[in-house]
Structures are given as C-alpha cells and as structure tokens.
Structure 1
Amino acid sequence: MLFDRQNKHLPSAAEALPGRPEPEFTVPSRHTVLGNPLEGPYPDGLEIADFGLGCFWGAERKFWQAPGVWTTLAGYQGGHTVNPAYEEVCSGLTGHTEAVRVVFDPAVTSYGALLKLFWESHNPTQGFRQGNDVGTQYRSAIYTHSPEQQAGAEASRDAFQPILDQARYGAITTEILPAADLPFYPAEAHHQQYLDKNPSGYCGIGGTGATLSEPSETNWGRSCPTGIASAPPEG
C-alpha cells in the first residue's frame, strides 16, 4: 500500500474533500472466491457486519476464509467524502478508513465469532496505523448495524482489553460507531478480493498473539445477535 501517506489528522466535514454524486467506477457482480454477489440486496436471513483493521486486502481475506461468510466487500467507511476514490482516501482528506463489509449466515456463524476474528487478526491499540501502514485510513473500527451489535462490540472490546494489558499492549483505540451514520462506499474493482487475484500480494494484517475467549451465553457473546440485513449497502 502507500507507506508514504502518513496522515495523522482526521478532517472535519468542512475540511474533507467534497466527493461526487455518483461513483466513478463499477463494482464486479460476484465474489471471485465465494461466487456470491458483492452488493445487495442480499438473501433474507443473512446479516451484515462492517470492520476496519488495516489494509483491506488482507482484512478481506481473513473474513472470506471464515465459516458462514456469504460474501465480503472491500470499501471505505467512517468519513465525510461522498463516493470517495482510493487516492482520495489515502490522502487523509476524506476521513474514511479501509473497511470490509461481511455478509454472513447466522445459522452457521455468529456476530460474536466475527468479533473474535476481528480482535485477534490485528493490533487494535495502534491508533492511525496498522504495522507498517501509517495513516488515518488504517485505523481500527467496528461499524454496527443494530443496538445488539453495538453492545456486543463494546462488550468484546472490554473483554479483550485486560488480555492485551496482560500482554503489555496499550489501550484499544478502535472506534465503535453505528453504521447508519457512516455510509459504506465499495472500493474499486481491483481492490475487491485483491489477494485472490494476487496471491503473493502485500498483506499487512497481523495480530498481537492475544486470544479472546469464545463467545458464549455467559460472556460478551451474549450481546451479539444482529438484525436481518437484506437491503443494499448504504451509499
């Protein structure tokens, strides 16, 4: 990715690039690995989860490999610019982070299982960076689609922090916010399933080695059911 774009300031809405009414590119119709449509509407009964954990190339692969995931989509979320382009996001002038939309089957997996994968797959204590990737677009984030997701994400964060403390890591910097206020904009076609198309391509995703407990009815997993998500992605 672009190591020299070391932006460390989130722009306000007034400072952000204006964007455009319509995206300048089209998104492929189907996932190259899972074979399912990338964009909604999705089949009834499936649910949506949105995560930012550094460069979306490696992050997306983490999730498409997980059981119960129906499709994944790389994109931009958490900022102000409408229909941003990759170079704009990397400039730090849109406010977005690189995100992955995960559409999953709750009959096979759970939001709690995805949260566990999220926390263990990156270092959530680094602020505006992830490993060698530095900039606001690499910050850790969870964008939730229901009050239950919000509660589950916050509870899992609170459960993981003491584990990171014991491993001598710092405070978690992950932002946890409602997705309804932060539209998801799909990324350009060549970013979708990038590491399937380029198996030896760059992947900056790496965890801390700390392990979160399995979600269950007696701990943070209890707050993790989500609502149906059959509508198209926002934006």
Structure 2
Amino acid sequence: MFLVEMFQRKTTMPTAAEALAGRNEAIETTAHHGVNGKALKPPFPPDCEVAYFAMGRFSRAEPLFWSLPGVHVTAAGYAGGLTPNPTYQEVLSSLTGHTQTVMVVFDPETLAYESLLELFFERHDPTQVMRQSDDIGTFFRSAVFTTTQAQAEQAKAARDAYQAALKSAGHTGKIVTEIAPMQAFYYAEASHQQHAQRNPAARSGLKGTGVRFPTSA
C-alpha cells in the first residue's frame, strides 16, 4: 500500500492547497552557458524567439538543442507548476507541479519552430503519462509551453500530425503532451545547467517511439 501511495503522489498533480510555498527570490544559477558562453538570461537578441520543451530529464534533453544551427542559447529550468522559484528537490517532491523544462532561444530565420517540434516529438515518447521510461513523476511529463499564438497553433498541428504518424505505424499510444502558454519559467540551479557537458555518461531516460515525424517532402 505504501508503494502504491508513493506512486500515486509522484504521478498526481498537486492542488493549490497542497503545493509548496516556494519563495520570492530566484534560485541562484550560473550567468553564462557552459558550452557557448552566452548569457543565460535576457535580454536576448531582438531577432530571436523563445521556446520551451519538457520531455523528461532536462539534463539529457538540453544537449539535443544547444548544438542546432540557429540556437542562440539553452537553459534548464522548471515550468508548468504552482510553486514560485522552486528548488530541484522541491520539484522532485511532486508538490510544486513543475516539469523539467528546456528553454531554447533561437533565430527563426535560421531554424524554424517546426523543426524544434519535430525533434521534440521524435526524441522522446509523448504517449507516456507522467514519465519517460523508468523516470516516473509529474516532473517528467511531456509538455510544450508556448510564447506566441503562432507557436500554440504550430504545436497543436505538430501533435496531430505525429499522432497520425503513430497510428499509421501501428503505435496504439495516444499523445498526452501538454500544450499551454508559458506562465513562468524558473532557472534550475547552476549544477543542472548544461549538465551533460560535464557528465556525458550520465543516465538518460529519453527514448523515442522510433516513428519518424511526417514531412511534406
């Protein structure tokens, strides 16, 4: 019974009454990206756009984006929850409602948002509920947090297109990816920024379905 209760707590979103109080001050993080040296926080170049993706461990998801041509900078953080300025341990308690999220600042003239969505859907399993492989919890749930109406429309269209591709491939799962406007992004602690650069052999729960994203070509 204890294990069942623990599993349910990890996979159930907290209510406002259950959520941890958090704090008014931002958690301390690093100032610059550990790979390209660029500033982790705004202001960003005016021609850049910002996108946010949650697809399991941010330590393994972030490097999928930072080397793409057109990406200005990436950062690991927390989004989609209730607790202001949470710590990593608070997020892992399942009492903040956040999911581990990667911020991607990119130049849309060089890298289309649709290409980021294609990578997102292919490189994790968007049909898994509150988990990625053996990584279980609300903080590992799949989500796309949008910053413009155009992003919201493109994300929903990409979700539907990938669902159709899964069905054509015989995959019976239903995509559960949350698509919602970004409300607040909280930078993770310095030790979590560009973690894969310092720990390339660290464990990863990311695994795609094996189904390619459909293209118009």
Per the TM superposition, whether the score is higher than 0.5 is yes
CA contact (8 A) 2:59 2:194 kept: yes
Please tell me whether residue 133 in structure 1 is matched to residue 135 in structure 2.
Answer: yes
What is the match of residue 19 of structure 2?
Answer: 16
Task: Please say if residues 165 and 214 of structure 2, whose CA atoms lie closer than 8 Å, have aligned partners that are also in contact.
Answer: no
Aligned-pair distance for 1:166? 2.7
- Larger displacement relative to structure 2 (194-203 or 118-127): 194-203
Partner SS for 1:195: helix
Question: Deviation at 1:74?
Answer: 0.2
Residue 199 of structure 2 aligns with an amino acid whose one-letter code is N
- Structure 1 residue 199 corresponds to structure 2 residue 206: no
Structure 1 residue 214: deviation in Å? 3.5
2:194 paired with 1:190: no
Deviations 1:75-133 (A, max 9, x none): 00000000000111001000000000000011210101100010001000001000110
Flag structure 2 segments of 5+ consecutive residues without an equivalent.
1-5
Aligned-partner Cα distance in 1 for 2:149–2:46: 20
Please name the residue that 2:3 is paired with.
none
What CA RMSD, in Å, does the superposition of the two structures yield over aligned residues? 1.3
SS of 2:102's partner is strand
Partner of 2:179: 176
Shift of 1:146: 0.7
For structure 1, the residue ranges without an aligned partner over 5 or more in a row are 217-235
Aligned to 1:60: 62
* The 10-residue stretch of structure 1 (136-145 or 6-15) with the greater mean CA deviation from structure 2: 6-15
Quick one: which amino acid aligns to residue 207 of structure 2? Answer: G
Q: Give the match for residue 125 of structure 2.
A: 123
- Aligned partner of residue 77 in structure 2, secondary structure: strand
Give the aligned residue type for 1:212: F
**Mapped partners of 2:145, 2:132: distance in 1:** 18
Q: 1:121 & 1:19 partners in 2: Cα distance?
A: 32
Q: How many residue pairs get matched?
A: 209
Shift of 1:174: 0.3
- Using the alignment, how far apart are the partners of 1:13 and 1:62 within structure 2? 33
Match of 1:142 in 2: 144
Q: What TM-score, normalized to structure 2?
A: 0.93
What pairs up with 1:25-64 in 2 under 5 angstroms?
A: 25-64=27-66
Q: Whole-Å Cα distance in 2 between the matches of residues 85 and 215 of structure 1?
A: 42
CA contact (8 A) 2:133 2:205 kept: yes
Give a deviation string over 1:23-44, Cα, whole Å, max 9, x none.
2x42211111122111111011
Provide the secondary structure at the position in 2 that maps to 1:62: helix
Do the aligned residues in 2 keep the contact of 1:113 with 1:215 (CA within 8 Å)?
no
Moved over 6 A (4+): none
Q: Which moved more, 1:33-42 or 1:183-192?
A: 33-42
CA offsets per residue over residues 130-178 of structure 1, 9 Å max, x none? Answer: 0110000000000000110000000000000011123323100000001
Q: How far off is 1:215 after superposition? A: 6.8
